[in-house]
Structure 1
Amino acid sequence: MQISEIIIGGDTPGIEWRVPVLRFKGSDAKAPSVYIQAALHADELPGTAVSHFLCERLREAEADGDILGDVTIVPQANPIGAAQSHFGELQGRFDLASRTNFNRDFPLVALGERDSLLENLQGQTAVNRLKRTLLHMALGAELVLDLHCDDESVQYAYIDEAFWPEAADLAAALKMEAVFLSDGESTAFEEAVGYAFKRQGGEKLAQVPGRLAVTLELRGRRDVYPQMAKEDADGLWRFLAARGAVRDASVELPRFDGPALPLDNIAMVRALEPGTVLFHKDVGERVEAGDLLATIVTRPGMADGTVEIRAELAGLIATRSSDRSVRRGGDLMKIACGARARSDRKPGTLED
């Protein structure tokens, strides 16, 4: 395993950020190359734990000569966000200086323009230098996995329709409970990679065989446990073996039989009033139209002091908010529905 560091100079004197990069050299030039990063949202740590155990497996494979394709892993991709503590709480999703989500505003370039990402870096802010450097590394690989997590959540993924259904092997390897088929119209990291992969020279490609850019949501923010992380690392190993990036003849993937749904089928359940949330349903449960999802206590102690939130469509509760105090319009759940849940969604991500 080769270890190096990306050094990002800070925007104030005396500050710099270091990003460790772990590389495993492959022995087969025809095998697919892999890039995996975790904790781009610095307060989302399941992916960091999974990366730790995956590297254990890869070191063993390296010793046995079983690494076929080059594998690059960045276990903690965002030291800038990791340093943002506000009144004792880590604030790793948004850059406090620019108020921008760390997983937005990645440059959209064609694959042949990859090296332009590193031009004139000194004129960029530290966050933009970090984003451009990470994206440049990722575009040197064929299989790109960005490890995230939701708040409270089942395991699912955002996968551009251009990589589906070929990417069903990843869903099967990790035993995902759902796949959200995205439209590739945002500036998130995974979609910036997909943008480049679909523009390899000439017209935009509708399908990109042999390549993949995906955001993996490794359950919820607090789902950081050794056995769970080891099992997910084993799932990633199975995927790498199935794609020929590592050698393991024992791997046989089952067929993925979970739901793979367009983003228009994801019902965003929001609070009608502010107050204290009492959930009646948990993540992973299936609900029918009309089922009671949550009660919001808007006026404690009053006979008419509650508001009920009910499911409009049947589906799988994919995510749930961990916050039990909600503002008006705040997100409560995402429900993956078998039918179209909305017609007003703008292209891009489901939330900021």
Structure 2
Amino acid sequence: MEISEIIIAGDTPGLEWRLPVFRFTGTRPEAPRTYIQAALHANELPGTALLHFLLERLRQAESEGAILGDITVVPQANPIGSAQAHFGELQGRFDLGTRTNFNRDFRLIALGERAGLVEGLDRHSAIDRLKRHLLHMALGCDLVLDLHCDDEGLQYAYIDEAFWPEAADLAAALDMRAVFLSDGESSAFEEAVAYAWKHESGGEKKVLLPGRLSATVELRGTRDVYPDLARKDAEGLYRFLAGRGGVAANDDPLPTFGGVVAPLDNIEMIRAPAAGAILFHRDPGERVKAGDLLATILARPGIPDGAVAVRAPQDGLIVTRVSTRFARRRSDLMKIACAEPSRALRRPGTLEA
């Protein structure tokens, strides 16, 4: 295993950021190359815990000669966000200087333009340099996983339709309850990777990418950082790599994925109709019917008729729920995966800011 650091100069004098990178060299040139990162949203740490145990497993595999394809691992992909605290609370989703989501505004380029990502870096801000380094590393691989988590939620993933249903092996290996089929219309990290692959040759855009995968994996909720869960997920991810030929392992077949598969248009984003304290009546993992009471918003506590009911617009599976218990008007409350498209208007791209 080789450990190196990418040094990113800060935008003010005397400041720099260090990005640790772990690399394993494979023994078979034809084996898929893998890139895995965690904590791009710096306050989402289940993936960092997972990679801690996965690296332990990979070191063991290396000693046994079982690393077949090159593997690059970045357990803490955002040292800039890790340093942002406001009144004692880590602010790892948005850059406080530019107000930009750390998982947006990745360059949408053809694969042949990869080398240009790390040329002339002094012309770019520290955030842009970080994003360029991450994308450059990922585009040198065939399997790319970006590990995130939700507020409160099930294990699920965002996977571009170009990789489905081949990517059902990842969903099965990590025991996911749902897969959201994305539309490739955003500048998030995993979609920027897929964009480059789709435009690899400079000719007609590819619609299927067999043998490749770029996915955002949502590892339950922000508080689900426990050694038993991290070890379980690390073992599942190792089994996925074994199934794809990246590492050698026993031939135990993966189970069949039996969770919900829903395009983004079928995700009901449940939003608060009014501001106030939130009383949730249903939990992630529950199936609901149209009209079921999901939450009550105490818009005017103590006043008759001051409570506002929030009901399910259609049948579905509750996949996520916010951890806060106060809502602003139109703030997100839940995601429900449904069999039918939502009637709410949705812009192409990601579900949330």
Return the letter of the residue paired with 1:207: L
Determine helix, strand or coil for the equivalent of 2:20: strand
Q: Does 1:4 align with 2:4?
A: yes
Aligned to 2:126: 126
Return the letter of the residue paired with 1:184: G
Alignment of 1:130-149 (within 5 A): 130-149=130-149
Q: Does 1:310 align with 2:319?
A: no
TM-score by length of 1: 0.99
Determine helix, strand or coil for the equivalent of 1:245: coil
Runs of at least 5 residues in structure 2 that lack an aligned partner in the other structure: none
1:304-336: CA deviation from partner (whole Å, max 9, x where unpaired)? 110000001000000001100110001000000
Return the letter of the residue paired with 1:114: R
Q: Structure 2: how far apart are the matches of 1:189 and 1:151?
A: 20
Contact 1:146–1:214 at 8 Å: present in 2 too?
yes
Aligned to 1:297: 298
Return the letter of the residue paired with 1:56: E
Displacement of 1:82 in angstroms is 0.3
Aligned to 1:219: 220
Displacement of 1:171 in angstroms is 0.5
Displacement of 1:250 in angstroms is 3.4
Aligned to 1:109: 109
Contact 1:242–1:251 at 8 Å: present in 2 too?
no
1:60-114: CA deviation from partner (whole Å, max 9, x where unpaired)? 1000000000000000000000000111010000001111000000001111110
Aligned to 1:39: 39
Aligned to 1:235: 236
Runs of at least 5 residues in structure 1 that lack an aligned partner in the other structure: none
Aligned to 1:90: 90
Displacement of 1:258 in angstroms is 1.1
Q: Structure 1: how far apart are the matches of 2:323 and 2:258?
A: 28
Return the letter of the residue paired with 2:149: C
- How many residue pairs were aligned? 352
Aligned to 1:53: 53
Determine helix, strand or coil for the equivalent of 2:53: helix
Q: Structure 2: how far apart are the matches of 1:41 and 1:339?
A: 31
Aligned to 1:276: 277
Contact 1:267–1:341 at 8 Å: present in 2 too?
yes
Q: Structure 1: how far apart are the matches of 2:238 and 2:72?
A: 14
Aligned to 1:204: 205
Q: Structure 1: how far apart are the matches of 2:304 and 2:347?
A: 39
Determine helix, strand or coil for the equivalent of 1:190: helix
Aligned to 1:192: 192
Displacement of 1:343 in angstroms is 5.6
Q: Structure 2: how far apart are the matches of 1:123 and 1:152?
A: 39
Q: Which moved more, 1:334-343 or 1:135-144?
A: 334-343
Q: Which moved more, 1:283-292 or 1:337-346?
A: 337-346
Return the letter of the residue paired with 1:154: L
Measured on the aligned residues, the alpha-carbon RMSD in Å equals 0.7
Displacement of 1:251 in angstroms is 2.9
Return the letter of the residue paired with 1:282: D
Displacement of 1:119 in angstroms is 1.7
Please identify runs of 4+ aligned residues in structure 1 that moved more than 2 A.
none
Q: Does 1:349 align with 2:350?
A: yes
1:249-273: CA deviation from partner (whole Å, max 9, x where unpaired)? 2331111111111000000000001
Determine helix, strand or coil for the equivalent of 1:52: helix
Q: Does 1:178 align with 2:175?
A: no
TM-score by length of 2: 0.99
Return the letter of the residue paired with 2:131: K
Return the letter of the residue paired with 2:274: E
Q: Does 1:13 align with 2:22?
A: no
Q: Structure 1: how far apart are the matches of 2:63 and 2:334?
A: 45
Q: Does 1:81 align with 2:91?
A: no
Aligned to 1:22: 22
